[in-house]
Structure 1
């Protein structure tokens, strides 16, 4: 850990840094003040011994602290060695868990040179992938000759993408007798089914058939030796890879070469972690033995290559692993540099490549080296490994760092809340050149700043759409790190295009064209101001808000007042999932309504009343147009798009409810439709059919599930919200890698993009704000929590819930309990400098509500000023700082 990283560590900040955040919030505390009601400053104390008292974090240490997942320090060590994953000659593998003692020793004899084809042998293929290059400037060629060049680091890559068969034909200069062949492939391009034919001078003859292959090195013996001048390999099936279906054959050897497993040992860190791996080597043989490190978030994709490296997106000099050449005297190697390592051979600087930072759960260390790395690294010898650890680079969330917390009578919900917090901590990190998405995402304006990346392992770029969820999660857990959201929002606004469009992220030098993300920038900006009270940010970026809402979005608005993708050259624009949607799309327009309302609130905060009124009017007009043009009466739900096949999406229907586009009848009907068409055992799918793309009705995004959860809580369907939470987050918690929340879930509950999937993604943490803001019921209603509201949504399955929200004025704590007689006790403790309202859930109009000993609602009408009821809630307004306890009963 560098000194700069330590100084900037949000978990270590105190004093002036924290006071700056609080001062920013206090700046807006007096804005929009209203006369307080009769409960101003009144503290209704909880009954003696009653569990509804507002707990201080220290009082909850024995209860909620045990759920916290963050490491106790920045040095993180593996939890166990996977015995079934150990291969070859490995002694004392468990020693990796006990640094300073006897080391684990990996030994591999010098392998014999593989057989070579006679000089003059040629190779052709029915297809070959076109060359490409990465940011390192090294061109890649994938043609057939790579399969016979004697270099296992190069390969033939077909170009069929699943349209098999595909053939590789090897022609010899003269007849040669073969006992068989050996096919050496890439871990991400293994042919699972293929045949081998030989040429008898007049026709091809079948020599072997292989099915169900999973081996990278596959010996294929013939029934009897064959004398031939040509060999043809026909691939009929391949494994699925993150990039599509390809065959990648590195070498075909003209003999049967037995597989000799290189020595490897795999350690498990117990959950996804992120940072710089550190390996301490005690000693090694004198031949520069190499090690290759493969990382994976799940055992399913734990192979001889990493599930993901940045090289996968920018050329692949490391061939899917990180390399190190171990000196004879040993070394402590910190894998913190993306690029070539000099090793012991300074004359060969372009060898021994490492990828640097990784997000992973499992780490496999193998005594091996790329053929191209000789002599700087050799694939044989002896390596003694004393210890393995990780220098954790992300936010270290400890019980002491949490400004907000949650606890309930349901252990599963508690675990999901803290799993979300930990997932978000993994993506709260500093922006560094070597660690971010290599697709031109590096930006000097973000360098060294704390940001919210999208994922821990990939893409590691701050996307504003992800902030719509991850920033709320951050504000409710570690508000002292709110600068991570501000840094992103400000930087994207600073790169606003001349026509008003705001980029979604720094990727592609801030040019990735997304249609929906400028709307998320508006909503996320209001969220940031609402939770922190940062008036300076609001004022500085208000002109950008004007430009995106009054210039760019009007340029893509049709005659009905609806956003229409395709106008003003936007047909090629994507969205959060790069979906091929065009024309009037409910999701875009419901988001537009929400953004206009949020912009109006921010304008009101700054005193721009005419702008606020204009945006509210436009929001109303767009909402009416959505209901007029995009409501499908037959289905009882909003259309995904007015163009093309009829389908109904989770995103548009949910946000239409949360943004207030849908009235109560439409909201209930839309949720009924989602219940009937999108339920799976691993959550609710984001489309109700497959007309957009195959498998859409089986794909679950926690990102778009979050607004559906909010919609269910807000419409009185708390039990269905809890059911959806259990199916979505319960599935991820019970499947490898466990704990952290996935970018997406695919058919059957799989990782939706196989190994490429990020298993720790900030946009999937919506269960946390849903439980705090909706189930517990506490939200800010004016910037910096100057005003707040508490409106719990207790599901039948819970007997109590409590928690704390960090605010610039101090903690806001809430607890509700169900009483044995069917009543409910709700206790709120509000900090000084704030005021708010409490909506107490009631079971029908006949329920009485007391504030302390005072009856404020007699079951029919209010008994004091500032109280109202609607049959579901009795709302008490004008509450000031202090403790307020309300009870219900007949």
Structure 2
């Protein structure tokens, strides 16, 4: 056998970067190959489990391949290696990759949920649940399996268990509750070992939404924990939460995600009490699919100064999500320190009005320690600025912003010659980081922070380029399916905490186009960007249910009434009426039905559901025909004559005649020009407008729109010093005052969806087959830019496109990972070029200099 110089990366299990606590015994496997041989092609692979015989498969697949062994039982640790062949040449084996299954069946749990009996009630100090366990002999390995009603932080013998923040995160708790697996071997010792678990209200019992309601899921905090210790002699000892545990009060007097945390640091004799064992369904326990929330960055304060009113303010230089870490020296017992948070300043003071009812305030009652580090654990805030009171001499070196969020792996980058455009892209990345905190929230600061379906529907392509969101969004989609109504209606937010609030539709069955379409669009995006057909299989019932529900509410094929968000936050809408938009809601809703029906048809075909594929393809055709019949004039004018209406019609093939498409393109261009290249679209139209202009041959206008700096525009916030994407184009007015509208967030990623066009069209890097196995390289340069580049870590490896204009020449460099291929369209209009893996370069006459 000939040794192949190609190398194989360590195996990845499902979409997990860490193999501890897998939720399936048959995880799909992925790997990447590196080679300098441009002719190399994988023809087969072998997989070895532990020291067993290798299983050989004749296949070129390397992403999410089927597990070829018997499923692993619970608690099983396994090592996997892969080698691949190109003809008769085999690579060396990949580095070993180790995975360990979690508790896969309810019967694996001997522990039961426990809750403090007399302590820990709502409004009381956060409880600590404790037990001391005596261990014998030499400890070989130990695992702590844990979850909570609320959020938890565990310590063993005083040492922190894990590095997760706000575990177990937020899911549709009645249907799905994540548990974590912690390797605690290093924290244990022979003899007595004490496990203490602090419980906070979190999403389970804290305030959620703008109505002030608390305890959406229950009014008792609870813990489920199971410690399993394996000794050197092979014996196993299991200790779980039961009636032998005890409860005590902590120094956390109050904790809430919106309002903040109040902590008393003075030592007091703790009040203790017993626990109750609860009868809870363990069948809803699930393992995590994506990474946990962690501290992802720590930023020093940039400056500290006194406001006009004499208050001490600190600036951390960028809008972030997390908490403030403050060092206090020479404290006096009983003194109080208060930290307030805000995203912006107004008139030189904290601009707290956009917080609405969220207090976003942490406070501390100090002991007399010579030096104290203050930082809350059971809350988070969206902020750039902090106001500190109770500390006589605050210095910048005493302050840090501790940034928290789901610890997603960065996978996408963009650069260009325009610093403002690069800043816009940085702002998109920062807004995504801040709002991808266990669920994709709309904003991280005010009394909302909910998983709005419309926001992630439009942003999911951008998100899936910038970060590895497959597990994160896959988990969120499982909650969407769980919270979806039996008739197929999709709640406005997932997890659904608005169901018991009087519905804006009036009947409790939400059918808002673009919002509910997250049920179809997000799974399709995950399949396209990560090559995951499994998410389509799992979500297919949900996808079909949504389309069936909307189709049942049409008359003659078009939407006929009921509540719609429409083109939410159209910039022409007044601050007190975000629903006012130029685009007719019926146009928006019918267009989305056509698109979602087509997605379901394509998913059904891929899954081998031929009857469904035929049915939904027919529905899509009939809806397109009804749209054209009802909303499109003979010349191509679309009802409401709004940019969003034309963008929908162009991008989703809703105009049957060539003449109509030509008119729509011309009219869209006219509207852009008439508005002075300022934005005139809301949440629905904004992700599509640049693509629509490009498709109609007006890429130059798309560039003009992107680079405009007057309000409203993408770059207007940049000129105002924004470091994140705003909810409104004019969240801050030109005079520095805050927009008076209720919907005024300074960290709201939805309008940053244009970054997807920047990746695909400005730089020219786009997927052409699921998982980027085929790549389209089609840069559209413009005289406004000298260079642009995009880089993405695809499931097959790194792909990149970079172009530069100089001295009348246009240079293009392309990198394609092994296992993928690309079709390159040079901007001179010549025939496309097909290339395999490796690095490729071209130089042509600069098309921007041609007449």
TM-score band by shorter chain is: 0.5 to 0.7
**Which residue is 1:590 aligned to?**
591
> Which residue, out of 714, 724, 732, partners 2:705?
724
Change (3 A) 1:754 1:795: same
Q: For the residues of structure 1 that align with 2:807 and 2:309, how far apart are their CA atoms? A: 64
Partner of 1:487: 475
Map of 1:360-759 to 2, 5 A cutoff? Answer: 360-367=383-390, 387-395=398-406, 402-430=410-438, 451-458=439-446, 459-479=448-468, 481-506=469-494, 509=497, 511=499, 513-516=510-513, 517-549=515-547, 551-559=548-556, 561-566=557-562, 571=563, 576=568, 579=579, 585-631=586-632, 637-640=637-640, 648-662=641-655, 664-679=661-676, 683-686=678-681, 701=682, 704-727=685-708, 728-736=713-721, 738-746=722-730, 752-753=739-740, 757-759=744-746
- Asked whether 1:276 is paired with 2:323, we answer yes
RMSD between superposed Cα atoms in Å? 3.9
Question: Which range moves more in the overlay, 805-814 or 19-28?
Answer: 19-28
2:805–2:811 CA contact under 8 A, matched in 1: yes
Q: Encode CA deviations 1:706-743: one digit per residue, 9 max, x unaligned.
A: 2112222333322221221222232111214x221111
Partners of 1:493 and 1:544 within 8 A in 2: yes
CA distance in 1, matches of 2:434, 2:693: 29
Deviation digits for residues 8-30 of structure 1, max 9, x if unmatched? xx999468899968469945799
Which residue is equivalent to 1:54?
none
Structure 1 residues 261 and 546, CA gap change in structure 2 (3 angstroms): closer
- 1:862 corresponds in structure 2 to none
Paired with 1:527 and 1:798, the residues of 2 have a C-alpha distance of: 29
Q: 1:765 to 1:829 in 2, by over 3 A?
A: same
CA distance in 2, matches of 1:828, 1:406: 14
Please, which of 826, 831, 835 is the counterpart of residue 874 of structure 1?
831
SS of structure 2 residue aligned to 1:792: coil
CA contact (8 A) 1:421 1:473 kept: no
Q: 1:819 to 1:827 in 2, by over 3 A?
A: same
Answer yes or no: is 1:325 the counterpart of 2:365: yes
Hey, what's the Cα distance between the residues in 1 that align with 2:495 and 2:311? 36
Q: In 2 relative to 1, CA 885–613 (structure 1 residues): closer, same or farther, beyond 3 Å? A: farther
Which consecutive unaligned segments of at least 5 residues does structure 1 have?
A: 1-9, 31-40, 42-73, 76-131, 138-259, 338-355, 368-380, 431-450, 641-647, 687-700, 843-871
Equivalent position of 1:207 in the other structure: none
Question: Counterparts of 1:510 and 1:20 in 2: how far apart (Å)?
Answer: 36
Structure with the larger helix share: 1
Q: Deviations over 1:797-851 (max 9, x none)?
A: 22332222221111222233446455x4444332222234232222xxxxxxxxx
2-structure distance, mates of 1:835, 1:788: 6
Relative to structure 1, the CA distance from residue 799 to residue 334 in structure 2 (aligned partners, 3 Å threshold; closer, same or farther) is closer
Deviation at residue 590 of structure 1 after TM alignment: 2.0
Q: CA deviation at 1:658?
A: 1.5
Partners of 1:11 and 1:283 in 2: how far apart? 48
Moved more, 263-272 or 750-759: 750-759
Post-superposition CA distance 1:532-571 (Å, at most 9, x none): 112221111112222222x201211112x112233xxxx4
Q: Choose from 323, 342, 354 the match for 1:296.
A: 342
Q: For the residues of structure 1 that align with 2:585 and 2:684, how far apart are their CA atoms?
A: 22
Taking a change above 3 Å as real, the CA distance of residues 836 and 621 of structure 1, as seen in their structure-2 partners, is: farther
State the alpha-carbon separation in 2 of the partners of residues 395 and 509 from structure 1: 21
Q: Indicate conservation of the 8 Å contact 2:815/2:838, yes or no.
A: yes
521 and 757 in structure 1: CA distance in 2 versus 1, 3 angstrom threshold: same
- The aligned residue for residue 226 of structure 1 is none
CA deviation vs aligned residue, 1:372-430 (integer Å, no higher than 9, x gap): xxxxxxxxx96877822222112568xxx542222233333233223322221222223
> SS of 1:841's equivalent?
coil
**Per-residue deviation at 1:637?**
4.3
- 1:776 touches 1:802 (CA, 8 Å); kept in 2? yes
Distance change in 2, residues 1:510/1:543 (3 Å): farther
Question: 2:537 and 2:695 mapped to 1: Cα distance?
Answer: 32
Secondary structure of the residue aligned to 1:766 is helix
| Paired residue secondary structure (1:274) | strand
Output aligned runs, 1:230-269, within 5 Å: 264-269=311-316
Cα contact 2:647–2:692 (8 A) shared by 1: yes
Contact 1:464 1:524 in 2 (8 A): no
Question: What's the offset of the Cα at 1:493?
Answer: 1.5
d(CA) in 2 for partners of 1:299 and 1:805?
A: 36
1:270 to partner: Cα distance:
0.6
Q: Distance in 2 between matches of 1:331 and 1:584?
A: 56
Q: 1:829, 1:881 within 8 Å by CA — same for their partners in 2?
A: yes
Native 8 Å contact 2:793 2:799 kept in 1: yes
The one-character-per-residue Cα deviations of 1:652-681 (angstroms, maximum 9, x if unpaired) are: 32222211224531331331242145446x
Contact 1:702/1:765, CA 8 A, preserved across alignment: no
Structure 2 contact 411–466 (Cα < 8 Å) conserved: yes
Q: Provide the aligned length of Structure 1 versus Structure 2.
A: 537
> How far apart, CA to CA, are the structure 2 residues paired with 1:29 and 1:618?
33
Which runs of 5 or more structure 2 residues have no equivalent in the other structure? 1-13, 33-60, 67-85, 87-162, 165-209, 216-306, 504-509, 570-577
**C-alpha displacement of 1:763:** 1.1
Deviation at 1:461, TM superposition (A): 2.0
Deviations 1:136-178 (A, max 9, x none): 69xxxxxxxxxxxxxxxxxxxxxxxxxxxxxxxxxxxxxxxxx
SS of the residue aligned with 1:674? Answer: helix
- In structure 1, distance between residues paired with 2:840 and 2:602: 28
| Structure 1 segment 65-464 matched on structure 2, within 5 A | 134-135=212-213, 264-285=311-332, 288-300=334-346, 303=349, 306-309=352-355, 312-313=356-357, 321-329=361-369, 331-337=372-378, 356-367=379-390, 387-395=398-406, 402-430=410-438, 451-458=439-446, 459-464=448-453
Q: 1:605 to 1:302 in 2, by over 3 A?
A: farther
Preserved contact between residue 679 and residue 685 of structure 1 (Cα < 8 Å): no
Equivalent-residue separation in structure 2 for 1:305 and 1:828 (angstroms): 46
Residue 305 (structure 1) shift: 7.3
Three-state SS of the structure 2 residue aligned to 1:541 is helix
Report if the CA contact (8 A) 2:480-2:495 is conserved. no
For 2:179, the equivalent position in structure 1 comes to none
Quick check: 1:835 aligned with 2:833?
no
**What residue is the counterpart of 2:749 in the other structure?**
762
Task: Determine the C-alpha separation between the residues in 2 that align with 1:384 and 1:392.
Answer: 20
1:876–1:396 Cα change, 3 Å: same
| Greater relative CO (CA pairs within 8 A, separation 6+) | 1
Pick closer, same or farther for the CA change 1:271–1:11 going to 2, 3 Å: farther
Structure with higher Rg: it is 1
